[in-house]
């Protein structure tokens, strides 16, 4: 027997005992306790299913670029219709799971009270409007980036475009009363692009995030038309109000309003319910917690440089 074979044989004979049975029993006990606290086991929507849903919507909205690579003009409508049918059917099941979780804590909702189909139907009707918004977003990215060589490159390569495709869908679901699904879709985009947009944020047309990594946009943010953000921009809350017991008060407008034609450069942080006036420019690494009027240019304090000799700087 060769040295390698002897080593492999020794490893097999010395394989550890994992005590799987005992570990499984302990995990079951913890699950039971958790289910008791949450009034029983609950089946949640599937992240994997929602990844497929977003792939389906992307393919239906942009069949020649995000769908099939080669598809004839005669076959496009068939492909879009077939893809939408599969995607909406899968989404219907996920919406139903959310409603069972949030409205009835796992109890199956009677058919006469099931609002899943109206929600999915309302989203379906919004798809042409979403496509028009996305066309404006993609054009804004192409026009705003000298490195962009084509519209197609922007669509298939830019993380900001991927994030806004997810957000346009998620925002509609959020408004229609499916906030859990909306948040899950937002987090799918976040994990893929590094861009964190809460589905509650209202974002106008021709929106462009350049580069994008580290961008955070909070739930109650309102963004106007033709706004451009760069990487690591935060549109967040300044502080969180609490009740008399110290628990956070949920809801309430706590994020910025960014008016039309604003540019926010890399690393800027804007906090609280402040308004950035139309046409303003917010410089890189600025920390801003106050409103600024239209046409403002906000930058860091002027850099001061001094030369010190013979210990003069001590």
Strands 269-271, 234-236: parallel, antiparallel or unpaired by DSSP?
parallel
Give the pLDDT confidence of 233-275 residue by residue, as tens digits.
999 999 777 778 778 778 889 999 999 999 999 999 999 999 9
With residue 44 as reference, give the H or E element that holds it: none
Tell me what the pLDDT averaged over the chain comes to.
89
Going by C-alpha positions, the residue among 272, 274, 278 that lies closest to residue 259 is 278
- The CA-CA-CA angle for residues 161, 166, 169, to 5°, reads 125
pLDDT reported for residue 239: 79
Q: Flag whether pLDDT at 312 surpasses 70.
A: no
Percent of residues in the chain assigned helix, strand, coil, to nearest 5: 50, 10, 40
Q: How far apart are the C-alpha atoms of 255 and 208, rounded to whole Å? A: 19
Q: How far apart are the C-alpha atoms of 137 and 233, rounded to whole Å? A: 18
CATH numbers and ranges of domains, the chain: 38-195 (1.10.3130.10), 214-242+249-301 (2.160.10.10)
% residues pLDDT > 70 (the chain): 86
Name the residue with tokens 């599937």.
46
Write down the number of H helices and E strands in the chain.
Answer: 8, 14
Q: How far is CA 79 from CA 62, 70, 189, in A?
A: 11, 11, 24
Q: How far is CA 191 from CA 49, 166, 184, 232, in A?
A: 16, 12, 10, 15
Q: How far apart are the C-alpha atoms of 211 and 226, rounded to whole Å? A: 17
pLDDT reported for residue 106: 47
pLDDT reported for residue 157: 96
Instruction: Locate 225 and state its tokens.
Output: 């038309």
> Which DSSP letter does residue 244 get?
T
Give the pLDDT confidence of 53-77 residue by residue, as tens digits.
999 999 999 999 999 877 878 889 9
Confidence of residue 214 (pLDDT cuts 50, 70, 90): very high
Give the pLDDT confidence of 178-195 residue by residue, as tens digits.
999 999 999 999 999 999
Q: How far apart are the C-alpha atoms of 47 and 190, rounded to whole Å? A: 13
pLDDT reported for residue 33: 84
Give the pLDDT confidence of 87-136 residue by residue, as tens digits.
999 999 999 999 988 775 545 556 666 789 999 999 999 999 999 999 99
pLDDT reported for residue 301: 74
Instruction: Locate 294 and state its tokens.
Output: 């239209």
Q: How far apart are the C-alpha atoms of 224 and 208, rounded to whole Å? A: 11
């Amino acid at each position: 027997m060769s040295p390698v074979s002897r080593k492999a044989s020794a490893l097999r004979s010395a394989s550890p005992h994992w005590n799987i049975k005992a570990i499984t029993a302990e995990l079951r006990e913890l699950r039971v306790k958790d289910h008791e606290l949450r009034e029983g086991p609950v089946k949640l929507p599937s992240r994997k299913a929602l990844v497929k849903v977003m792939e389906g919507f992307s393919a239906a909205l942009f069949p020649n670029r995000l769908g099939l690579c080669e598809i004839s003009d005669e076959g496009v409508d068939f492909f879009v219709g077939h893809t939408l049918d599969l995607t909406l059917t899968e989404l219907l099941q996920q919406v139903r799971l959310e409603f069972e979780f949030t409205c009835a804590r796992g109890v199956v909702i009677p058919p006469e009270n099931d609002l899943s189909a109206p929600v999915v139907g309302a989203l379906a009707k919004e798809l042409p409007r979403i496509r028009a918004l996305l066309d404006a977003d993609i054009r804004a990215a192409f026009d705003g980036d000298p490195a962009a060589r084509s519209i197609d490159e922007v669509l298939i390569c830019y993380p900001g475009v991927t994030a806004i495709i997810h957000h346009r869908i998620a925002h509609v679901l959020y408004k229609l009363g499916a906030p859990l699904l909306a948040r899950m879709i937002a987090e799918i985009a976040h994990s893929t692009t590094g861009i964190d947009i809460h589905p509650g944020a209202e974002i106008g047309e021709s929106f462009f995030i350049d580069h994008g990594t580290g961008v955070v946009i909070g739930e109650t943010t309102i963004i106007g038309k033709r706004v451009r953000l760069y990487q690591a921009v935060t549109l967040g809350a300044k502080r969180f109000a609490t009740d008399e017991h110290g628990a956070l008060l949920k809801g309430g407008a706590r994020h910025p309003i960014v008016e039309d034609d604003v540019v926010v450069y890399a690393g800027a942080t804007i906090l609280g319910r402040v308004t950035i006036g139309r046409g303003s420019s917010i410089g890189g690494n600025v920390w801003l917690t106050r409103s600024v009027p239209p046409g403002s240019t906000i930058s860091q304090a002027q850099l001061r440089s001094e030369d010190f000799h013979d210990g003069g700087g001590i």
